[in-house]
A and B are shown apart, each in its own frame.
Chain A
Amino acid sequence: MDFFKDIGVLVTNEKYMGMLFEGLGTTLLISVFAALLGLLIGTLVAIVGIAQDSPIMKLPKLICKIYVTIIRGTPMALQLFIMAYTIFAIRGFPKEITAIIAFGINSGAYVSENIRAGILSVDIGQTEAGRALGLNGRTTLIKIVIPQAIKNVIPAIGNELIALIKETSIVSMIGMYDLTQAAKIIGAGNNMASYVVPMTVAACFYLAIVYLLTFVIKIIERRLRASDKR
């Protein structure tokens, strides 16, 4: 089988593996920082979303609603294009940062919905008990509600992170050199008859990361659950 032989050739070729690892670095860089940005935005948006209705909160609530609606209602690729070719179309502006912002903003919209649902799933009695002791709304949220909400949302956030990592593969569309792009270049520039071999190897890289992440999430989940029963 030529296919397996070619894979063997590729994975033992230092230059090709170097290219793939360089691409992997970009993929991880974008994923990690976009995920952090997404969590930050998502948490803020969720907190605004569940805050009590009051005149001061009206505008922030509206903005958050519009943000989530637009981001969830339009394709990621278009969001990335718009960021890259209009908002951040500044000569010399690092593409990594453009991508991190674009994916962070996108991820934030989905994460905010997860966190909102997680916070609402915590029994209202927990909040009432906190408030009845004289704690203010913010302390109650931070010390009591959010720690319990996190437990509920870890699986959903994990799925969101996994989706994010895979979705970053579209950054090659704005000319970035990520794992997918590396595979494309290897496929185009060598004497292996097709793209299939480098693409397969790149896919295995994605698979390995996702598998690892799934494993880590499982461990975190189990850790958090341990505090439930002891």
Chain B
Amino acid sequence: MISVKNIIKTFEDGVTVLKGVDCHIEKGEVVAIIGPSGSGKSTLLRCMNLLSVPTFGEVWLKDKLLNPVDPYLHTEVIEASNTYKKLVAGGMDGADAIVKIKKEDLLNEKFSAAEGKEYKAILKKLYKDNHIDINVARQKMGMVFQHFNLFNNLTVLDNLTLAPVELKLKSKEEAEKNAMALLKRIGLEDKANVYPSTLSGGQKQRIAIVRALAMDPDVMLFDEPTSALDPEMVGEVLDLMKQLAAEGMTMVIVTHEMGFAREVADKIVFIDEGIIKEQGTPDEIFNHPKDPRLQDFLSKVL
């Protein structure tokens, strides 16, 4: 469903927060991302829908490439280049040659006119076959934020219908009918016409979740959905997420709720200092952690 390949993220201030992350999320899988504060969990999640644009690397949604990638460093372009052919002819393994070219930026030398034409054709094809407009891709990737981010200027109902109607995915009537059904599902249909400021945190977050569901997403991204909640409201939000997981929704969840991750996730990803140090099933991660940083982390949070 989602593949991030060799993601590197350096912020404007020069700090590199993700240092080459590979991560694959299968359809129907629930993946929990855990790790210490500041390790890059949110940044990784935000790279998946390009709220944060990776400095290097690729983000794929199914078979579509989401982020603009330096064309000269694209694998297919490299493979068509004379530099690559020369290296391979010299006895180098193909994969090693690609790594070497990327690393040493060997393609940055100017191309001959013929080569240029060839690359252009490859790039055009690449773009045509693989690329998708990010705004279209995001329609299928729901996101839930730590601080809910319900639209303050709109009623609950309008929060749920704005995007489907604006993007012409549904008529206003359809969108409202669907929204009411979603609100009914979480027992908040009586809140349809109030503004978000009158709601409790738990109510806000459940509405934020169904706002994302109103787009019929293929995958849902959660960034610490319960961290800003009073303890007594955490349960209602986690219960809703468990329901979604049981229904087969593909979910990526950044969380500090280890019990929840253990119970619901199919796969746990442990990230530390911008690197995925270990990933595996809940049993592997919680009962048989191998990485010393993970062992240390678990001893603190469990």
Which A residues contact B (CB, under 8 angstroms)?
123, 125-126, 128-136, 139, 143-144, 147-148, 151, 227-230
Near A by CB (< 8 A), chain B positions 122-163 give 135-139, 141-143, 145, 147, 149-154, 162-163
Q: A131-B51, A230-B194 are in contact. Are A125 and B147 (CB under 8 A)?
A: yes
What residues of A have a CB within 8 angstroms of the CB of B208 in the complex?
129
* Chain B 19-59 interface mask (CB, 8 Å, partner A; 1/0): 00000000000000000000000000000010100000000
Q: A133-B138, A134-B136, A134-B215 are in contact. Are A126 and B149 (CB under 8 A)?
A: yes
A132 touches B49 (CB 8 A): yes
The 8 A-B residue pairs whose C-beta atoms are closest, nearest first, are A134-B139, A129-B149, A133-B163, A125-B149, A132-B143, A134-B138, A147-B153, A134-B135
What residues of B have a CB within 8 angstroms of the CB of A143 in the complex?
162, 166
B135 touches A144 (CB 8 A): no
What separation, in Å, do the CA atoms of A14 and B219 have in the docked complex? Answer: 76
Does B69 belong to the interface (CB within 8 Å)? Answer: no
Most-contacted residue by chain B among A132, A143, A227 (CB, 10 A):
A132
Q: A128-B145, A144-B153 are in contact. Are A133 and B212 (CB under 8 A)?
A: yes
What separation, in Å, do the CA atoms of A147 and B158 have in the docked complex? Answer: 14
What residues of A have a CB within 8 angstroms of the CB of B162 in the complex?
133, 135, 143-144
Selected contact of A134 from candidates B150, B163, B194, CB within 8 Å: B163
What residues of A have a CB within 8 angstroms of the CB of B197 in the complex?
228-229
A132 touches B135 (CB 8 A): no
What separation, in Å, do the CA atoms of A136 and B166 have in the docked complex? Answer: 10
Does B95 belong to the interface (CB within 8 Å)? Answer: no
Tell me, rounded to whole Å, the shortest Cβ–Cβ distance linking A225 to chain B. Answer: 11
What residues of B have a CB within 8 angstroms of the CB of A135 in the complex?
135, 162-163, 166-167
* Chain B 231-246 interface mask (CB, 8 Å, partner A; 1/0): 0000000000000000
Selected contact of A227 from candidates B143, B145, B153, B163, CB within 8 Å: B153
A125-B145, A126-B149, A130-B163 known, 16 other contacts, Cβ within 8 Å: A125-B147, A126-B151, A129-B143, A131-B135, A132-B138, A133-B138, A133-B139, A133-B163, A134-B135, A134-B136, A134-B163, A135-B135, A136-B135, A227-B153, A229-B197, A230-B198
Tell me, rounded to whole Å, the shortest Cβ–Cβ distance linking B124 to chain A. Answer: 22
Does B297 belong to the interface (CB within 8 Å)? Answer: no
What residues of B have a CB within 8 angstroms of the CB of A129 in the complex?
143, 145, 149-151, 208
Q: A134-B167, A229-B197, A230-B195 are in contact. Are A128 and B51 (CB under 8 A)?
A: yes
* Chain B 165-182 interface mask (CB, 8 Å, partner A; 1/0): 011000000000000000
Tell me, rounded to whole Å, the shortest Cβ–Cβ distance linking B194 to chain A. Answer: 6
What residues of A have a CB within 8 angstroms of the CB of B136 in the complex?
134
What residues of A have a CB within 8 angstroms of the CB of B138 in the complex?
131-134
Tell me, rounded to whole Å, the shortest Cβ–Cβ distance linking B59 to chain A. Answer: 14
A139 touches B198 (CB 8 A): no
Tell me, rounded to whole Å, the shortest Cβ–Cβ distance linking B241 to chain A. Answer: 17
